[in-house]
Structures are given as structure tokens and as C-alpha cells.
Amino acid sequence: MPAATTILIAIIAFVIMEPLTAATHRWVMHGVGEFLHRSHHRSMLRRFEANDWYPVMFAAVVNFGFFAGLNWNGFDVLVPVSIGITAYGAAYALVHDVYIHGRLNWFANRQVATFDRLAEAHRIHHLYNAAPYGMLAPVVPAALRERASHTARNPLVRA
């Protein structure tokens, strides 16, 4: 596969991950898999929470994609797809876990305007346990944005 094609496929996979992630968050994490995700919407009592099983499960699927793409004839397209998904996962973890929730204390003083906008969208999600479900390009309903503008409560500050 030509390098340009490989890069294009990885970029497409990265971009497709945002709506796929939003849908998974909405219908799995706030649906049938809420028993794991619920821990994320509560004060963190331990270093790890039940919700941390989600990235472990997603990584297992992506690793299988790498394995299949590298070892089985006809599945080579899964390598750049897995690269794009992995890049999205890394960006998601940086924004969500590191920046917004401060799990690694890398951003003690929030000074990244783009990340602050994403943090505000995520604050709204935690305030109402509703939209937006996306992370890197969240769509915040205007009514929720207006409603949230009247509260200073920040459910992202965790004990």
C-alpha cells in the first residue's frame, strides 16, 4: 500500500472516531454499559475507576486490528485504521483524562484555550449527564449551554 494511502486511511480513521466515540458514549456508556461508566460521574475515591475498563477493552479491539493487519493476507488496511484509532485514543486521553480531569497533573494551570473549550463542554456533560457525548469536537445543545452558563458548579473537580 502506498505511503500516501496509508496516511490518508489513518487520518480518515482518526476523524471517524469522533462520531463513533460520541455514539458509543451515548448508547453504550450511558446505556447498557452504564454500570461501568457510572463511576466516572461520581467523585473519584481511588486512582482507578470502573470506567477505566473502557479504554482497556477498546485497546484490545485495536490490538486485534493490528494483529490481523500485520499477519493475515487481505487485512493490511487494518494497520493504518488501527494507527488512526490509536492516535485518536491518545488525543482523547490527553484531553479528557490528563487535561480535563487532571489525572496526571501535567496541566496544573489550564492555559490551553482549545482544551478549556473542550473542558467546558465536558463540564456541561457532567452537570446534566446528557449531551455533549463527543470529546474532541463536542456538539453542545444551545439550551444546555445557556442553562450551564448560570451555574458555577464544576462536577469535574473530583475528590
DSSP per-residue string spanning 98-154: IIIS-SS-S-SS---HHHHHHHHHHHHHHHHT-S---SSS----HHHHHHHTT----
Nearest-angstrom CA–CA distance, 5 and 92? 24
Other residues' Cβ atoms within 10 Å of the Cβ of residue 41: 15
Question: Is the bond preceding residue 132 a cis peptide, omega within 30 degrees?
Answer: yes
pLDDT score at 22: 95
Taking the model in full, what pTM does it have? 0.88
| Average pLDDT over all residues of the chain | 90
Residues in the chain, total: 159
pLDDT score at 158: 53
**What is the DSSP secondary structure assignment for residue 155, as one 8-state letter?**
T
Nearest-angstrom CA–CA distance, 38 and 129? 10
CB 158 within 8 A of CB 43: yes
Q: Could you tell me the pLDDT band of residue 100, with boundaries at 50, 70 and 90?
A: confident
Please indicate whether residue 27 or residue 97 has the higher confidence score (pLDDT).
27
Nearest-angstrom CA–CA distance, 81 and 105? 31
pLDDT higher than 70, residue 141: yes
3-state secondary structure of 49: coil
User: Buried b / exposed e across 123-145, counting CB within 10 Å, b at 16+?
Assistant: bbbbbeeebbbbbbebebeeebe
Percent of the chain with pLDDT over 70: 96
pLDDT in tens, 14-70: 999 999 999 999 999 999 999 999 888 877 667 788 999 999 999 999 999 999 999
Q: Could you tell me the pLDDT band of residue 88, with boundaries at 50, 70 and 90?
A: very high
CB 98 within 8 A of CB 106: yes
